[in-house]
Structure 1
Amino acid sequence: MRGLALSLLFAGLSGYAVSASSAEPPRTAGAVDLQRYQGTWYELARLPMFFQRNCAQSEAQYQLQEDGSVAVTNRCRTQAGEWQEAKGQAVAQVEGQTDKLWVRFDNWFSNLFPGLTKGDYWVLYLDASYQTALVGNPNLEYLWLLSRTPQVSAQTQAQLLDEARARGYDTSGLIWRTAESAITP
């Protein structure tokens, strides 16, 4: 668990530093109803941050708080079937703008240096029924294809890929969720 916490620390640091590339930041989804967004999201595919290098399956649980922040619980199941978990909080980067959030995970380093360990969480695309989403960061290095279910139709998958490409992401390096039956419990 300490390894996951350290990885999340570095992920926060790397998410904070924006690439010096001249590429335009990706278009976001616009206003996100955080009440509807809360709940469980399953990762379908990712352009990963290094802390996910051993993840076969990942999921996130979001819970809207009274102060408008979002409690975050990320879970990762390794190829060996072991679950790793990290908890954190998301807040709007600009008050009232709900498509661009800062996420900070609870660990010793982020508690010492909270301003240095926050990472971008941009909601790039969200379908009207809040069943699928794309989340990324402004430097186009990280991307997550998310769904309320662990699997989606080929048509939905193609639509998410098209949305990602339209925002400037190279999807050729995506790592797809491992089938649940392939994981040894």
Structure 2
Amino acid sequence: MVRLSTALILSLWLPLLPLAWAARQGSEVPPVRSVPAVDLKRYAGTWYELARLPNRFQSDCARDVTARYEPLADGGVRVTNRCRTLEGEVKTAEGLAVPTDRSNARLKVSFLPGWLKRLPGARGDYWVVLLDPQYRWAVVSEPRRENLWVLARSPALPPQELARIVDTLAGRGYPTDRLLLTPHDAADLSHAAGY
């Protein structure tokens, strides 16, 4: 049996360390960044969820997921999320989003009842990370990449456009292989109208 000395082992492995370090550095994902700015007046209105990462607070949402944003006089944004469950019932959640800086691209949102919505620790991150210049679609996430929503002004985007968005997200380190596509029944979107 041949025994290799520590010096011999190190002489074999030391030249490979820079390569291993470089490979590790290349695999690290950059931090999540929001878009430079969001015009809340243009962002206001109804958005249709096209895809999302699985999350506990939407576990019973099966289809027809929408979000409506309404800017408030105090600078906050009223949020109304709606979806249809597997049983066909409409589920609604009312929330409040508050911008964290002048860009309006990073907000804190809470769906707790009443005055509890304004407690600092009771709010989650809501960052607009991609935004179409015409505000036809948007992507929302947060710093840990645990939550992700692809939203659009209509219940569908052309498949190649949605594929480009997903490719961009994959390139930014999002687990796009886990995305759930959100079906919309055009005849069943009455819950999205008039709110």
In the superposition, the TM-score normalised over structure 2's length comes to: 0.75
Match of 1:90 among 87, 92, 97: 97
- SS of match in other structure, 2:75: coil
Find 1:75's aligned residue among 82, 95, 109: 82
Q: How do 1:29-48 residues align onto structure 2 when only pairs under 5 Å count?
A: 29-48=35-54
CA pair 155-45 structure 1, distance change in 2 beyond 3 A: same
Tell me the residue number matched to 2:151: 146
After TM superposition, where is structure 1 displaced by more than 4 Å over at least 4 residues in a row?
none
* Distance in 2 separating the partners of 1:75 and 1:49: 15
Structure in which a larger fraction of residues adopt helix: 2
The verdict on how the C-alpha distance between 1:159 and 1:90 changes in structure 2, with shifts beyond 3 A counting, is: same
Contact 2:117 2:123 in 1 (8 A): no
> Deviation of residue 79 (structure 1)?
1.5
Give the number of the structure with larger relative contact order, counting CA–CA contacts within 8 Å between residues 6 or more apart.
Answer: 1
Change (3 A) 1:163 1:45: same
Q: 3-state SS of the aligned residue for 1:55?
A: coil
Q: Is the 8 A contact 1:134 1:164 kept in 2?
A: no
Corresponding residue for 1:115? Answer: 120
Is the partner of 2:41 in helix, strand or coil?
helix
8 Å Cα contact 2:95/2:117 also seen in 1: no
2 CA distance for matches of 1:49 and 1:93?
23
Q: Quick one: structure 1 residues 81 and 161, their matched pair in 2 at CA, closer, same or farther if it must change by over 3 Å?
A: same
Matched residue type, 1:150 = P
Q: Distance in 2 between matches of 1:112 and 1:91?
A: 10
Taking only aligned residues, the RMSD between alpha carbons, in angstroms, comes to 2.2
Letter in 2 for 1:141: E
| Higher strand proportion | 1
* TM-score for the superposition, normalised by structure 1: 0.79
**How far, CA to CA, are the matches of 1:152 and 1:31 in structure 2?**
23
Extract unaligned runs of 5+ from structure 2.
Answer: 1-27, 189-195
